[in-house]
Each structure stands twice: as structure tokens, then as C-alpha cells.
Amino acid sequence: MIRLLVNILEFILNYFYRDRLYPRFYVLETVARVPYFAFTSVLHLYETMGWWRKADWLKVHFAESWNELHHLLIMESMGGNQYWIDRFVAHTGAFVYYWILVFVYVLTPSSAYHFMQMIEEHAHHTYDTFLKQHGDELKNLPAPQVAVNYYLEGDLYMFDEFQTTRTPEERRPKIENLYDVFVAIRDDEMEHVKTMVACQRPDAQLTFKSPHNSEAKLLPESIKVAIEKSSEDLAREATEKEPVAMS
């Protein structure tokens, strides 16, 4: 079922948004936010009922949604939400995926995290392809102010919070033009992938921590290697499977 949900989203993006890149990115970022809303909704419910209290998980997932919000704001600033049909597709998809992910997360959190891992891998591959095809053009365009505000002047505590395999302040993207913005967005997606992989570890309930938690420990090198290998394998699979090139 998880693979089917991902395939449906990929089909919509690949076939209906092949030649409309910024609306494509707008729809992708709108839908990509809602699983994190689903995760925090369920975690808040568990905490309220006294079943399970994990503040670090809430912080990290909120930071992930905050990061995706700013990706969305960047796409809106590029005109991605200009037409009502794109807003309709994005909002309808977000509504449907939210409730599906709430249900899946209650039954099997690891499956919900695996779904999000695949979505973020698709996003990483999408932006990487876009950069390769349009890099020269993007280097001559200015960075949107919302991107400058977020990556250089915004709440950098929140920016560090979702990158659970890094120490705070380790990563600070350069933002000088639109190319740099999309490099930062692409790299953000890979940080989400790594965090989703960490959430699926068998001992995650004991070891998963906010990077700002004084008890946080960086992942062992063996786990990092496994994450990188998984990411490379799935990125190669996505490249072979995705038949539609962006133009």
C-alpha cells in the first residue's frame, strides 16, 4: 500500500506537471508537509492520553514541517500556486494523504516513516534533475527574498532541528542566486531522508533525540553508511523508474 501511495503521487507529478515545473514543485511541497502534521497529531494524542511522551519526536517533526513550509513559500514566490487548479490538486491531495497517514501511523509508525522516506527521496531526485537541466539558467536569477530570510536570517535553531544526523550549526547553505536556493532545497530533502531512516531503526524509541538534546548522540558510522547506501540505491531506482524528463 505504501508503494502504491507513492506511485500515485509520482504519476500525478510526472504526467500532469511534466512541463510546468514550479506548479509541480508547489504541489509536491504542499503534499510533502502533511505527513509531518499527521505524525505530530498522533503524538499529541498519545501524550494527551498519557500513553507515550516523546518531546524530541514532536520537536523534530515540527521542525521538518517548518522546513517544508519554507520550501512551499519559495515555490509560491515563484508563481507555483498561481492557478486555482494547481491549488485544488495540492489541497485535495494534502487532505487525502493527511488522513491516510494518520491511520497508517497509528497502526505501524515504521511504515509511515518509510512512506515519507520515499517521498523525500523522490523530492531529492526531482530537484537534482532540475538543477542538472537548468543549472546555468538558475545561476543568473536572483534568490527569492523568502529563501534569503529562511536560510540566512531566519530561525536557524529550527533549521538545525530536523537534521538529526548533524550537530547544530554544522550546515549553513550559501544563498547567492536561485541555483543556490534549489541546491539548499535538494540537500534539505536528503536530510529528511536520513531522519526518516533514523526513525525506522529498531531502537529508535530509545535512541532518537533532538540534535539540541544534551543526551543526543550522533549516529554510529555503520548506521551512516547504511543510510547513505539506502539513499543511493533508492535514488538509482527512482532514476530508472521515472520515465518522464522535466523540461
- Residue 94, CA atoms < 13 Å, CB-side half-sphere: 18
At 153 the pLDDT is 87
Does the CA dihedral 81-84-86-89 come out positive or negative?
Answer: positive
Which position has the grid cell 515555490? Answer: 75
* Residue 22 CB neighbour total at 10 angstroms: 18
**Picking from 10-14, 24-28, 91-95, which range would have the lowest pLDDT averaged per residue?**
10-14
Long-range contacts of 131-136 (CB under 8 A, 24+ apart): 131/179, 131/182, 131/183, 131/186, 133/245, 133/246, 133/247, 135/179
Q: Could you give the angle at which helices 21-48 and 84-107 cross, rounded to 10 degrees?
A: 30
Given a cut of 50, whether residue 243 has pLDDT beyond it is no
pLDDT of 77 above 90: yes
206 C-beta neighbours (distance < 10 Å), count: 8
What is the reported pLDDT for 55? Answer: 82
pLDDT of residue 159: 93
Phi first, then psi, for residue 36 (nearest 5°) are -65, -35
106-164 pLDDT, tens digit each: 999 999 999 999 999 999 999 999 999 999 999 999 999 999 999 998 789 999 999 98
166-216 confidence digits (pLDDT tens): 888 889 999 999 999 999 999 999 999 999 988 988 888 777 888 888 776
Q: What's the pLDDT score for residue 51?
A: 82
Q: What is the pLDDT of the chain when averaged over all its residues?
A: 87
Backbone angles phi and psi of 91, in degrees to 5: -70, -40
CB neighbour burial string for 208-232, b if at least 16 within 10 angstroms, e if fewer: bbbbeeeeeeebeeebeeebeebbe
Please tell me the chain's helix, strand, coil percentages from 3-state DSSP, rounded to the nearest 5.
75, 0, 25
Check residue 207 and give its pLDDT. Answer: 78
> 66 near 60, Cβ under 8 Å?
no
Q: Which three cell numbers stand for residue 216?
A: 543526543
- pTM for the complete prediction? 0.88
